[in-house]
Structure 1
Amino acid sequence: MLAYAIRRILILIPTLLGVSILVFLMLHLTPGDPAELLLGERATDEALHQIREHLGLNEPLYVQYGMFLKRLMKGDLGETIWTRQKVWIEVKQRFPATMELAVTALFIACLFGVTLGIISATKQYSIFDYVSMLGALTGVSMPIFWLGLVFMLIFSVNLGWLPLSARLSIDVDLQVITNIYTLDALLTRNWVAFRDAIWHLIMPAVTLSTIPMAIIARMTRSAMLEVLRQDYIKTAKAKGLSQFKVVFKHGLRNALIPVVTTIGLQFGVTLGG
Structure 2
Amino acid sequence: MLTYFLRRVLYTIPIAIGVSLVCFALIHLAPGDPLSAVMPEGASSETIASLRSFYGFDRPLAIQYLTWLTHVVTGDFGYSIMTRRAVLGEIGPAVFNSLMLGVAAVLIGFTVGLLLGLIAGYAAGSARDRVVTSLAVAGVSVPHYWLGMVLIVIFAVNLGVLPATGMGAGGSTNFAFDWESLKYLVLPAISLSVIPAGIIARTVRGTVAEVLKQDFIQTLYAKGLSPRRICLHVAKNAAPTVLAIIGLQLAQLLGGSILVETVFSWPGTGFLLNTAIFTRDLPVLQGTILVLAMFFVFINLIVDLIQSAFDPRIKRN
CA distance in 2, matches of 1:195, 1:58: 51
Q: 2:197 aligns with which of 213, 221, 237?
A: 213
How high is the TM-score relative to the length of structure 2?
A: 0.74
Alignment partner, residue 143 of structure 1: 143
Question: Contact conserved, 1:36 with 1:48, CA < 8 A, in 2?
Answer: no
Matches within 5 A, 1:16-165: 16-39=16-39, 43-165=43-165
Identity of aligned pairs, percent? 39
1:259 aligns with 2:242: yes
Structure 1 residues 54 and 81 mapped into 2: Cα distance closer, same or farther (>3 Å)? closer
Question: Contact conserved, 1:113 with 1:217, CA < 8 A, in 2?
Answer: yes
**2:124 partner SS:** coil
**1:39 partner SS:** coil
CA distance in 2, matches of 1:160, 1:180: 21
Structure 1 residues 50 and 5 mapped into 2: Cα distance closer, same or farther (>3 Å)? same
Structure 2, unaligned stretches of length 5 or more? 258-317
Q: Cα deviation per residue 1:168-203 (whole Å; 9 max; x = unaligned)?
A: 456xxxxx9xx5521xxxxxxxxxxx2333333221
Deviation at 1:245, TM superposition (A): 3.5
Aligned residue pairs total: 255
**1:6 partner SS:** helix
Deviation at 1:75, TM superposition (A): 1.2
Structure 1 residues 80 and 145 mapped into 2: Cα distance closer, same or farther (>3 Å)? farther
**1:77 partner SS:** coil
CA distance in 2, matches of 1:54, 1:204: 39
Structure with larger Rg: 1
CA distance in 2, matches of 1:74, 1:256: 37
CA distance in 2, matches of 1:138, 1:131: 11
Deviation at 1:84, TM superposition (A): 2.1
Structure 1 residues 40 and 30 mapped into 2: Cα distance closer, same or farther (>3 Å)? farther
Deviation at 1:15, TM superposition (A): 1.2
1:181 aligns with 2:165: no
> Which moves more between the two structures, 55-64 or 40-49?
40-49
Q: Which has the higher contact order (CA 8 A, sep 6+)?
A: 2
Deviation at 1:40, TM superposition (A): 6.3
Deviation at 1:166, TM superposition (A): 3.4
- For 1:181, give the aligned amino acid: A
Question: Contact conserved, 1:39 with 1:48, CA < 8 A, in 2?
Answer: yes
**2:36 partner SS:** helix
Structure 1, unaligned stretches of length 5 or more? 171-175, 183-193
